[in-house]
Amino acid sequence: MQRWRSWRTSVLSFTLVSVVASPGSSAPLSDAGPALQAVAVQAQDTSLPEAERVDFVKALGGWGTAQVRDPLVALLKDSLPSIREAAAKGLGWQGNGEAVPALRERAEAPGEAPAVRAAAFESLGKIGDASARGAILAATHDADPGVRMAALGALTTGPLASPADRIPLLRRVVEDGALAPIMRCEAIQELGKEKDKGSIPLLVRLLETGPRVPMTLPSASPSQQEIVRLRFQQSRDLRAWAASSLGALDAKEAVPLLLRAARDPDDFFLRVTSMGALVTMKAPEAAPVFVQSLHDPFADVRALALIGLAQLGDSSAADAVLARLSDPAPMVRAQAVGTLVELRDPRARTELENLRKRELDSSVQQALAAALARLAR
């Protein structure tokens, strides 16, 4: 039955696309009327299995034109919450102002399922009609986290986002531990991009007490599955993104915490973002951690440590930098070449000329050519 359902829906969706949405097609949208009507009839057919009906509602919602508005609005009153939710989501295209009253009715209906209300608020945000902004703002205080998330998302991204309250709302997203971590991490990044100094205490607190996300090093040749897993973890690492934004905000008061986070043994991504923040801030207190991190098992951390040492110009680190000329990672060797020049160590020319004779990596050879040219001036 599942295979038949998927095949049936896929064929019908393909038919709709081929009739109306084919690239370069000059056929008017009205030509797809019978096909869309067939989908609408199936979506409303209560004799079909619930999951199959949801698929048909989603097919309508994917259309995103006025042709499907009326059937989707009608489905907002279906007896099944899953159908109402899919219909509410399907109405969320920018400029679909005619659907606002029906969506608001669903969003504010007493006893309505939270998932349906969340879908309605999400679509109201995408539509961007200013008349709905007050209702969405009120929903940011809703008891259900899904509803809050939809409302906060609507007011911090998209057409209803306003400079007047976007920063306070982003802070609320970050503070709300019941919201999805990925949304909170995105809000953290936005606060850094906005250079919101007022968020520094919040981000410092999060770096210090936020949830820990153990993240082991990827293998030398990670599989696609491993890469996906790492991306999933990184997008939800609140402490790591807090460290990154603190660097963007030049939060000197966070340096002690960043120094500690840069040595976290369990989360290599946190070490990377913390090291990056220390480099961005050119923190002189970080010199010992930079030297220590030259032995980090992750090449990106070693490269960042070399950049930090180059910025500080600490000649006492020259021996540690010289050792990185033999690093197994080309990116680290290339950065060590540049850092050695910045430190103005008297051994630099000889060491770099010797490396040039044995180096096989083209990127390192380019770094060597540039470094030796500078030393020849």
> Which residues fall within 8 angstroms of residue 124, CB to CB, at 6 or more apart?
92, 100, 103, 104, 107, 132, 135, 136, 154
Cβ(159)–Cβ(94) below 8 Å: yes
pLDDT tens digits for range 66-91 = 989 999 999 999 999 999 999 999 99
Q: Nearest-CA neighbor of 270 among 309, 213, 192?
A: 213
What percent of the chain shows pLDDT beyond 70? 91
More confident residue, 30 or 330: 330
Across the range 133-146, mean pLDDT stands at 97
pLDDT tens digits for range 204-241 = 999 999 999 888 888 888 899 999 999 999 999 999 99
- Supply the mean pLDDT for the chain: 91
Q: Which two tokens stand for residue 46?
A: 């209560």
Domains observed in the chain: 1-10+35-162 (1.25.10.10), 167-213+224-281 (1.25.10), 285-377 (1.25.10.10)
Residue 32: predicted pLDDT:
52
Residue 24: predicted pLDDT:
32
Residue 221: predicted pLDDT:
86
Residue 19: predicted pLDDT:
39
Residue 57: predicted pLDDT:
97
